[in-house]
Amino acid sequence: MSGLAVPLILSTHLAFPFSGRYLNGNTPCRFDRRAQGLFGGPCFFEGALCTFVYVDGFNLYYGALRKSPWKWLDLRLLFETILQPHHDILAIKYFTAKVSRTPNDPSKPQRQAAYIRALVQFRPEVSVHYGHFLTHTVSAPLANPRGSQRFADVIKTEEKGSDVNLALHLLNDAWLDRYDCAVVVTNDSDIAEAMHLVRRHRRKRIGLVTPGSGRSSRQLAAHAHFHHRIRKGVLAVSQLPNPIPEANIRKPPGW
């Protein structure tokens, strides 16, 4: 490579020859942060990687937060703590669905709404993407049947769309060359094929973060370059301020 100069074109849009990737305000890798490597490779200033984080909100909640006192979670701080310093986190995409009130917990929607308002107010790099809930009645076997009664009708609520939305964003952002590394926060094996396609066809680095201490999905881990867990200690040091500065948003009671 000696004697071969690779020109840089500095203008309103900073471009690298052959890469087809422009570092402007509409794409993640901005010149004021650091320049990006040729051919979609790692950013070569300080070895940084343009990193997008994809969070399965309900997997995170039920895997790590539900029984903890650390629900007022600062996602940016969490992943800065978990990931190595060379990850430059440019976007965090949070996939969830709006919960409904129940007779036993009528304030559930207000708590969720307060958290999401606080999160996007304090961390503008966080975007929220909604699926929906589907509620229907199903017949389920009794754990302790009595007499001739073996089944009972129960109300089943399922969260729909978040896993599909996460997989589509993961794929779309890879094909648009928006990141060098994607970190997927879930234990839902339905995301495995999207991870496989991104790694195989776009040559992106893939990280897996498993919420909680349960067994990690082997299907997901098979497509990850690295793997971390979300443990209680890191949750405790990754909390949003209360109240949120310059906003009248406070942590819900009991959180």
Higher pLDDT, 157 or 179: 179
Calculate the dihedral angle through the C-alpha atoms of 59, 60, 62, 67, rounding to the nearest 10 degrees.
180
CA distances from 168 to 67, 95, 191 (A): 30, 11, 10
pLDDT in tens, 189-235: 999 999 999 999 999 999 999 999 889 999 999 999 999 999 999 99
SS3 of residue 213 by DSSP: coil
pLDDT in tens, 113-148: 999 999 999 999 999 999 977 766 788 888 888 788
Within the chain, which residue ranges are assigned CATH 3.40.50.1010?
Answer: 48-236
> Domain 48-236 sits in which CATH superfamily?
5'-nuclease (3.40.50.1010)
pTM, rounded to two decimals: 0.79
pLDDT of 155 reads: 67
Instruction: Give the single-character DSSP code of 175.
Output: H
pLDDT in tens, 2-52: 444 433 333 333 332 223 333 333 444 433 333 343 334 434 445 799 999
Structure tokens at 88: 């430059």
